[in-house]
Amino acid sequence: MEKLGIGIIGCGNISSAYLKAMASFPILDIRGIADLNRDLAAQRAAEFNVPAREANELLADPTIELVVNLTVPKAHVAVAMQALEAGKHAYSEKPLGINFAEGKKLADFAAARDLRIGAAPDTFLGGSHQTARAIVDSGALGQPVGGTATFMCPGHERWHPNPDFYYEIGGGPMLDMGPYYITDLVNLLGPVAQVAGFAVAPRKERVITSQPRNGERIPVHVPTHVTGVMAFKNGAVVQIGMSFDVAGHKHVPLEIYGTEGTLIVPDPNHFGGQIEFLKKGGAFEPRETIEPYADGNYRSLGAADMAHAIRSNRPHRANGSLALHVLEVMEAFGKAAETGTTISITTETERPAPLSESLVDGYIGR
């Protein structure tokens, strides 16, 4: 299949994982990377043997069809809009935007120009999550009843060299980690209908313990402990907890409950992991992962699937509709906390098509 010209804007912490994984997908032809920090762009370019360029050069290059946007969350929509204005498709790191209004503006702008947008996370396309999807689709769970989704840690200032943005508007555990969990739940159960929730910020500032800024204090502008319930359109009700304030816990990342069984789904921040299934009356037993992309960190799998979709004129899986729906759901927890009411979700989305064959081995979608 003809390669697709790719331009990357943003050379921060996540860019190394993307650049490394992109080598796994022959369809992706990286024509350049750019960052406001020219030294950082040059460093990444040398590390991965790709050209460092100015962002305006990438946007003006007619051989680049898809811009992969790896900037900080508050710049996601602005950079994606620039790509669309230049006549290019755009794929962004998560979340799609820092609020639903700007995400909707981006989606409408893309639709009006007949261009595609996509967004991470793409971990739901990993082999373990696609195997879990196959178990759900087989009917082994019976009628889906509920579940739990849990991410809790003491905070990213423990390890990230510049953690400020995690505590600014557009950050916090829900917008940072929620996309992995909620996207995977939509993959497994379908769209969300209603949300109820609470959100608190126990501390007004955080102390960085990572290097090189160890000991520096940073202010907190967002809730850092968010909990609530999602009612899915299929009738399932799932509890969720996202926190940067918890010293430790024993919850698994994802559990899905049905009338006939319970499914343990591995960490949705990874592509692989151990699946367990309990049939009613039995015990939990491991299930073998039978789908591809479970044996490594395939950040950019969603962009590769998008590239194949562009070439073969089919829908891509980590698409704008899915990302906008997840963004609305995440924002709804804050609204529910502020108003003390249940929030109805207005966006519609479909479960992405399963991914059961390798994009490298000539797979172009079904």
- pLDDT(246) > 50: yes
- pLDDT(70) > 90: yes
- pLDDT(43) > 50: yes
- Tell me the percentage of the chain whose pLDDT exceeds 90: 95
**Residue at 77 is within a domain:** yes
The verdict on 102 and 135 lying in the same domain is no
111-116 contacts at long range (C-beta below 8 A, 24 or more positions apart)? 113/84, 113/87, 115/84, 115/87, 115/88, 115/89, 115/90, 116/89, 116/90, 116/306, 116/309, 116/310, 116/316, 116/319, 116/320
The verdict on 161 and 274 lying in the same domain is yes
The verdict on 92 and 238 lying in the same domain is no
Confidence of residue 219 (pLDDT cuts 50, 70, 90): very high
The verdict on 131 and 275 lying in the same domain is yes
pLDDT digits (tens, 9 = 90+) for 332-346: 999 999 999 999 999
- Quote the pLDDT of residue 362: 40
Report the length, in residues, of the chain. 366
**Residue at 347 is within a domain:** no
Written as one letter, the residue type at 172 is G
Mean pLDDT of 293-301: 95
- pLDDT(73) > 70: yes
Contact predicate 322/116, CB 8 Å: no
Confidence of residue 363 (pLDDT cuts 50, 70, 90): very low
- pLDDT(240) > 70: yes
pLDDT digits (tens, 9 = 90+) for 252-272: 999 999 999 999 999 999 999
Q: What is the CATH number of the domain that holds 302?
A: 3.40.50.720
- Quote the pLDDT of residue 366: 31
Of 11-15, 54-58, 284-288, the least confident: 11-15
**Residue at 282 is within a domain:** yes
The verdict on 92 and 21 lying in the same domain is yes
The verdict on 87 and 70 lying in the same domain is yes
Q: Using CA atoms, how far apart are residues 106 and 98, in angstroms rounded to an integer?
A: 12
Structural domain tally of the chain? 2
**Residue at 350 is within a domain:** no
Q: Where are the beta strands (DSSP E) in the chain?
A: 4-9, 28-34, 66-69, 89-92, 117-119, 144-152, 192-200, 205-207, 217-219, 225-232, 237-243, 254-258, 261-265, 275-279, 284-287, 343-344
- Quote the pLDDT of residue 361: 57
The verdict on 283 and 315 lying in the same domain is no
- pLDDT(216) > 80: yes
Task: Kindly state the tokens that stand for 341.
Answer: 């009411």
Burial category of 173 from C-beta neighbours within 10 Å (exposed 0-12, middle 13-18, buried 19 and up): buried
User: Strands 117-119 and 89-92: what pairing?
Assistant: parallel
Residue 133 structural domain: 124-287
The verdict on 92 and 185 lying in the same domain is no
- pLDDT(33) > 80: yes
Peptide bond into 253 cis (omega under 30): no
Mean pLDDT of 357-364: 62
pLDDT digits (tens, 9 = 90+) for 14-26: 999 999 999 999 9
- Considering the chain, what is the average pLDDT of its residues? 96
The verdict on 104 and 133 lying in the same domain is no
Mean pLDDT of 212-235: 97
pLDDT digits (tens, 9 = 90+) for 125-143: 999 999 999 999 999 999 9
Contact partners, residue 149, CB within 8 Å, separation at least 6: 181, 182, 185, 238, 239, 240, 241, 253, 254
The verdict on 148 and 231 lying in the same domain is yes
Longest dimension (CA), the chain: 62
pLDDT digits (tens, 9 = 90+) for 314-337: 999 999 999 999 999 999 999 999
Q: Using CA atoms, how far apart are residues 110 and 88, in angstroms rounded to an integer?
A: 10
How many other CB atoms are found less than 10 A from the CB of residue 211?
8
